[in-house]
Structure 1
Amino acid sequence: MKQSLGDRILNIEWLPLLVLAFVGILVLSMISSNFLSSYNLFVILRILSVTSLVALSQMVVIAIGQMNLAVGAIGGLVAILFGALLELYHVSIPLAFLAGLAVGIACGALSGWLIAWTKISGFIITLAMLSVFTGLNYGITKSIPFYNMPQALKAWYDSYVGPVPLILFIPLIAMVAVAVILHHTRAGRQMLAMGGNPAAAELAGISLMRTTIMAHTLSGALAAIAGMVAVARLGTAEPTIGSDWLLASFAAPVIGGAILTGGHVSVIGTMIAVLIVVLLENGLILAGTNPFYIPFFLGALILLTVLFNHWRNSARSSPLLRRGGH
């Protein structure tokens, strides 16, 4: 039976998230007069520019049923290499960006290849790579940031296209690119097929090694871009960039509807979830909450989301409920 327009709208997976985000904006605007100030909106949009890329970086690996614990470490390593090229070697911004992107791709590809070749859990491999990349980061910098970034970088970051910050176009382009790759290319469909059922995917002729490397390579590229955008945002290349990305990288895809065992992710849901996460953090700060409690609330939100999704999936699979309780 053909569904009505109303039924199709109600079945949109990310619609409840959109409503939640709207309610969050409404509540925060009522409880804090500073929420809708131009400065606060400026802060929110710039946090979104980095967090959305971090979330997409984790999401593409979740799609194949794995995880990338080295997302922040890759972003941090690329950030300080990007800063070093700009400050020490006076490389042009576009060339430094391409070099940073190449390093991120290489880091992701290496992680993916090690997972596929050794058949060791991605959790273990990326945990090890987190330590490797972080060690390189601090070894190169000796924990000293690169401060002297070109004025052109900050000017580019602060520029607008109409009322929209130019920097937001990077995550928007990344979002569209990831959506196209996952849902409109053979490679993306193979990633989702591997996440849904690796054994069946392999029987269907899908190379699990190639697909694993591809997912982690894409993840590394997105993490690298996030690291370089973070440098533009801060105006310095700090060794600590990426050190606090891990929780947010999982929070947004999970809240957005991703299944951690793979096979299903929602690009739009993830992006809306990024907004919810940023609104939560911003609201807590405006309310005067100790910033050290923010991970507590974020972790609680992830836990509640996982429990809700588990309950919802169990309810959907219940034969009794499918028969309407008869």
Structure 2
Amino acid sequence: MNRILSFAIRQQWSGILAGVIVGGIALSFATPQFLSEFNWFVMLRSICVSLLVAFSQMVMLGVGQMNLSVGALGGLVAIIVGGLMDAWGMPPLPAILIAVAAGGAAGFINGWLTVRTGINGFIVTLATASAFAGINTGITRAIPFYNLPPEFVAFGNGRLGPFPYLLIVPLIVTVLLAVFFSRVKTGRYMLAVGGNAHAAQLSGISAPRAIITAHVISGLTAAAAGVLAVAQLGSAQPSIGAEWLVISFAAPIIGGASLAGGSISILGTVIAVMLIGLIQNAMVLLAVDPYWVTFLLGALILTAVWINRYRAYRLGED
């Protein structure tokens, strides 16, 4: 037990884990509704989409890049899956597979443009975000798709006690990413490129391939988030993904990812998403102005960046 506690304390995510625990205890005393089964279901269901959005950006930070098109790409996939089921009458499974594949293809386009043009991914994805949003509006004319199969909507609203069925997807993605970055050579190569692209190239690692792979994984993850958002809402809204950008950076950075690349924390990102979900839930239960959530996320990002810089400085001294 002491070894486990000592290990947890040494980790960068130990502080935010303590924040989650203390915040949960405080809320349980502040409002009895916090411990209700339905409240936990609502909170966990909101975390499902946020976690996939955070993973989408975390992968990019690991390779030393950024993806500003996460929200627009997820929104486009949401419209694709909704349109296939509503306008085309396609069953949920093939519609989901096609939509997620479209997200991977969009991610490939981001990566290919970044590598072929030599322009920073920040600029490339800023441009493609506008393109994806334009396609979204062009397809829908800002009109949502409502006529979705009952079984698809039921999955988005179903639960087992406080646990939503939607939670299955982010749990699977979490395990797959953990194995990918710890056991698969491609995942380790991506982090090596993010840490020092020149040294990685000298070691025989293809930086362009690592960047394209990161963009594809980011696209697939954002696409999965878009599909879950549609199932959660029960309709394919053109506005899906519009507010994802802040959360996509906040969770991985708070969880310990380095803006310079080469360092990510999957567990830290999960805990950070839990903390953000707890804050959002507290705002609702305590009837606090929801605009304060944005302020708190910004403050948390600045604090996390400062802590990362301070830790890097101390390690350099040591």
TM range (shorter): over 0.9
What letter matches 1:304 in structure 2?
A: T
Cα distance in 1, alignment partners of residues 294 and 4 from structure 2: 40
Aligned to 2:240: 241
Q: Does residue 221 of structure 1 match 2:215?
A: no
Q: What is the CA distance between 1:60 and its match in structure 2?
A: 0.5
Q: Does residue 153 of structure 1 match 2:152?
A: yes
Q: What is the CA distance between 1:163 and its match in structure 2?
A: 5.4
Aligned to 1:286: 285
240-249 vs 33-42, greater mean Cα deviation:
33-42
245-254 vs 36-45, greater mean Cα deviation:
36-45
Aligned to 2:16: 17
RMSD over aligned Cα atoms: 1.6
What letter matches 1:226 in structure 2?
A: A
229-238 vs 37-46, greater mean Cα deviation:
37-46
Aligned to 1:211: 210
Q: What is the CA distance between 1:75 and its match in structure 2?
A: 0.4
Name the CA shift for 1:20/1:293 in 2 (closer, same or farther; >3 Å): closer
Give the TM-score, by structure 1 length: 0.94
Q: What is the CA distance between 1:33 and its match in structure 2?
A: 2.2
SS at match of 2:280: helix
Aligned to 1:124: 123
SS at match of 2:168: helix
280-289 vs 129-138, greater mean Cα deviation:
280-289
206-215 vs 278-287, greater mean Cα deviation:
278-287
- Superposed CA deviations along residues 226-272 of structure 1, whole A, max 9, x for unmatched, are 00000000000000000000000000000000001110100010001
Q: What is the CA distance between 1:9 and its match in structure 2?
A: 4.1
Aligned to 2:47: 48
- Superposed CA deviations along residues 53-72 of structure 1, whole A, max 9, x for unmatched, are 00001000100011100001
- Superposed CA deviations along residues 16-67 of structure 1, whole A, max 9, x for unmatched, are 3222211111111122222122222121011011000000010001000111
Name the CA shift for 1:314/1:99 in 2 (closer, same or farther; >3 Å): same
Cα distance in 2, alignment partners of residues 269 and 5 from structure 1: 16
Q: What is the CA distance between 1:160 and its match in structure 2?
A: 3.5
9-18 vs 58-67, greater mean Cα deviation:
9-18
Aligned to 1:168: 167
Aligned to 2:300: 301
Aligned to 1:268: 267
SS at match of 1:215: helix
29-38 vs 42-51, greater mean Cα deviation:
29-38
Cα distance in 2, alignment partners of residues 163 and 43 from structure 1: 8
307-316 vs 140-149, greater mean Cα deviation:
307-316
Please list every run of 5 or more consecutive structure 1 residues that lacks an aligned counterpart in the other structure: none
Cα distance in 2, alignment partners of residues 300 and 80 from structure 1: 33
- Superposed CA deviations along residues 163-184 of structure 1, whole A, max 9, x for unmatched, are 5322101000001111111111
SS at match of 2:110: helix
Name the CA shift for 1:4/1:225 in 2 (closer, same or farther; >3 Å): closer
Aligned to 1:98: 97
Cα distance in 2, alignment partners of residues 301 and 218 from structure 1: 26
CA contact 2:40–2:162 (8 Å) conserved in 1 = no
Cα distance in 1, alignment partners of residues 241 and 312 from structure 2: 33
Name the CA shift for 1:5/1:226 in 2 (closer, same or farther; >3 Å): closer
Q: What is the CA distance between 1:315 and its match in structure 2?
A: 2.4
Cα distance in 2, alignment partners of residues 311 and 280 from structure 1: 25
SS at match of 1:147: coil
Q: Which runs of 4+ in 1 moved over 6 A?
A: none
CA contact 2:75–2:226 (8 Å) conserved in 1 = yes
Q: Does residue 187 of structure 1 match 2:183?
A: no
Q: What is the CA distance between 1:310 and its match in structure 2?
A: 1.6
Name the CA shift for 1:163/1:276 in 2 (closer, same or farther; >3 Å): closer
Q: How many residues align?
A: 317
- Superposed CA deviations along residues 102-153 of structure 1, whole A, max 9, x for unmatched, are 1000000000010011110111000001000000001110101011111111
Cα distance in 1, alignment partners of residues 24 and 86 from structure 2: 40
Aligned to 1:84: 83
